[in-house]
Amino acid sequence: MGDAGVPGVEDVAGLARWLAENDLPGGGEDLAVELITGGRSNLTYRVESQVPGTRLVLRRPPLGHVLPTAHDMTREYRVLSALHGTAVPVPRPVALCQDTAVIGAPFYLMEWVDGVVFRTSEDAKILTAAQACLVSERFADMLATIHGLDVAAVGLDGFGRPAGYLARQLSRWQRQWELSVTREVPGYAELVTRLAAGLPAEDGPGEPAAGAGGTLVHGDFRVDNMLIEPARQPRIAAVVDWEMSTLGDPLADLGLSLVYWTEAGEQDLLPPTAGATVTTAPGFLTRQQVAARYASLTGRDLSRLDYYMAFGCFKLAVVLEGIHARFLQHKTVGEGFEREGEAVPTLIERAHHLLDAGDGGLYAQG
């Protein structure tokens, strides 16, 4: 152990002092900070001291090229605080620090949760086909549970504005694209036009809310944003990475989740950091099976799921272009970021293909 820092948390001694000043675990101790690799956006670190059992997780914004309204530590901390102890398992939040003098950026700390992150088909080799099927089912079940929460009851009333959610998302991600784009990408402008023209009606599919306050959406729900206990009957120990959560249209959440959910032969659709090969392993359900299970649990109409998946492709393309911009600035931390930019044109093309399928197309219910 020592006070050697890592990119993003160079002043480990300063972090230890802040912990001590706030009577938090590890305060004043000989801390070790280690980057937890695999994340594409906010940076995540393991924080340990020599005191047995003192292990925390620190989250902070990425280095450089932080887009306006993105990477808000306060929002992420708020949603963890609200969800801890509910039917949606999350790590227990420990502390929030908005003083950028401590490590150079706002950050928060949460408890360490034991569990496995399944990101690749290689990771999934420890699962039997039956276990992989169960993970798939619990994935769909958890998304339905998130969308079924009474947001007012858990203290998230006002966490977002459900009305007009998708139109605002389209405008927001266009602005983020304009701030991030590093090159001309064929088909992007045409895609925005098509998405705007096809926006679902406010009272259309996906709009029924879990409660009077609206529907909580995770914003980046995928297999590798879950910590899983890989026992004989695998269970989800925690859902993490809530940085894009808000109140909105649940089918936008499902659509993006299914963009990540690749099938056999699609291993190269997305970069390795997107956790996009794990669901190609034996036993995992198909996209249609996941969608059907979600529909049976929620009663939602999936007749426009092709549109929502196209919207998910658009959103992910913007996110990856932003990461590509940080990579070109040498501001990414970890490995595998050189392929982020390659996926952007592929996602734009895939979105057009989904829209070409039309309503009642590739993934329509029934």
Q: And the tokens for 29?
A: 């101790």
Look at residue 121 and tell me whether its pLDDT is greater than 70: yes
Token couple for 48: 């340990």
Round to whole Å and give the CA distance between 91 and 240.
8
pLDDT above 80: residue 355: yes
Q: Counting beta carbons within 10 angstroms of the beta carbon of residue 148, is it exposed (0 to 12), middle (13 to 18) or buried (19 or more)?
A: middle
Cα-based angle 199, 200, 204 (whole degrees, multiple of 5): 170
pLDDT at 137 over 60: yes
| Range list of H helices, 40-150 | 73-83, 129-148
Supply the pLDDT for residue 357. 87
CA dihedral 201→203→206→211, nearest 10 degrees, is 140
Give the three-state DSSP class for 244.
Answer: coil
Say if CB 336 and CB 273 are below 8 A apart: yes
User: Which residue in 280, 352, 278, 274 sits closest to 313, CA to CA?
Assistant: 352
Lowest mean pLDDT among 25-34, 112-121, 241-250: 25-34
State both tokens at 186: 């064929």
Predicted TM-score (pTM) of the model is: 0.90
What's the confidence (pLDDT) of residue 323? 80
Q: Mean pLDDT of all residues in the chain?
A: 88
In the block, which residue shows the tokens 């590093």?
Answer: 182
According to DSSP, the residues that pair with 331 across neighbouring strands are: none
Mean pLDDT of 104-128: 95
What is the Cα–Cα distance from 33 to 5, expressed in whole angstroms? 7
In this prediction, residue 27 has a pLDDT band, given cuts at 50, 70 and 90, of confident
Residue 366 or 241, more confident: 241
* Rounded mean pLDDT, 236-254: 96
The residue type found at 14 is: G
At 205 the pLDDT is 47
pLDDT number for residue 30: 86
Q: Which fold has domain 12-111?
A: Phosphorylase Kinase; domain 1 (3.30.200)
- Do 309 and 287 form a contact (C-beta atoms < 8 A)? no
pLDDT digits (tens, 9 = 90+) for 1-11: 456 678 899 99
DSSP sequence for 48-73: E-SSTT-EEEEEEPPSS-PPTT-S-H
Give the residue carrying structure tokens 């003083």. Answer: 99
Give tens-digit pLDDT for 318-334.
988 888 777 666 655 55
Structure token digits, residue 220: 């980046």
Return the domain boundaries, the chain.
Answer: 12-111, 123-357
- Backbone CA torsion sign across 245, 248, 252, 253: positive
| pLDDT value of residue 168 | 95
CA dihedral over 149, 155, 156, 158, signed as positive or negative: positive
Q: Tell me: domain 123-357, CATH 3.40.50.720, correct?
A: no
In 119-192 the beta strands, taken as DSSP E runs, fall at: none
Tell me what percent of the residues of the chain surpass a pLDDT of 70.
84
Residue 245 near residue 218 (C-beta atoms within 8 A): yes
